[in-house]
Amino acid sequence: MAAKRASDKAKAPRVFGQSRRSAKMFRAGLYARVSTDDQQTIPSQIRALLEYAARRGWTIALQVKEVGSGASQRQLREKLLDAARRREIDVVLVWRLDRWGRSVADLLATLQELDHLGVGFVSLTEALDLTTPAGRAMAALLAVFAEFEREILRERVRAGLAHARRNGQKLGRPITAATKAGEVRALRRAGISKAEIARRLKIGRTSVRRIMTAKER
């Protein structure tokens, strides 16, 4: 009996605590991303992702390779999300979380969407598998950190506005020419030229002409 249990374990090696065997053949979408100056790591990322998918017995439905600088550039990532929305993949596989998400908030938003779609998510470096209870607990922690990040940003905005007010800076949207229509007409009736009206009220000459034309109608 002991020999049989040992044989069963040998046939089903575990990856991130999961048996190689699964209820169905998962279709995986692979995502690899590097900065413009670090393109040589794309092949190593893809190789690691392919090896992991093979160990889990997954088929590869889509591979996305993205190169770009800056936190905001993830255009090709949308191809993988679109495939998830069309139910063409069952799991997204990435090398590392920072390769996938632009920020904690962005990471959480995409993970929540994938979860809503019933699509799993695995990050190799962090050994994060959101198809497991432990992985879902980690996602909950990410939600806490995302809210923390948003609160820090809100606090910075409030501090910046307060600093601007203390320094006499005007806040809010700039005053539009339409709000000065009455002044424009009054100055024009007083014989002031359109160019001078524009200079005094700090609006464009075209705006002055538009206001006067509207009045004539």
Write out the catalytic residue numbers: 35
Strand, coil or helix: 151: helix
> Distance (Å, rounded) from C-alpha 109 to C-alpha 117?
12
Torsion of CA 111, 128, 61, 83, to 10 degrees: 0
Residues 6 or more apart whose CB falls under 8 angstroms from that of 120 comprise 26, 90, 91, 92, 114, 129, 130, 131
Q: 39: which 2 tokens?
A: 């393109």
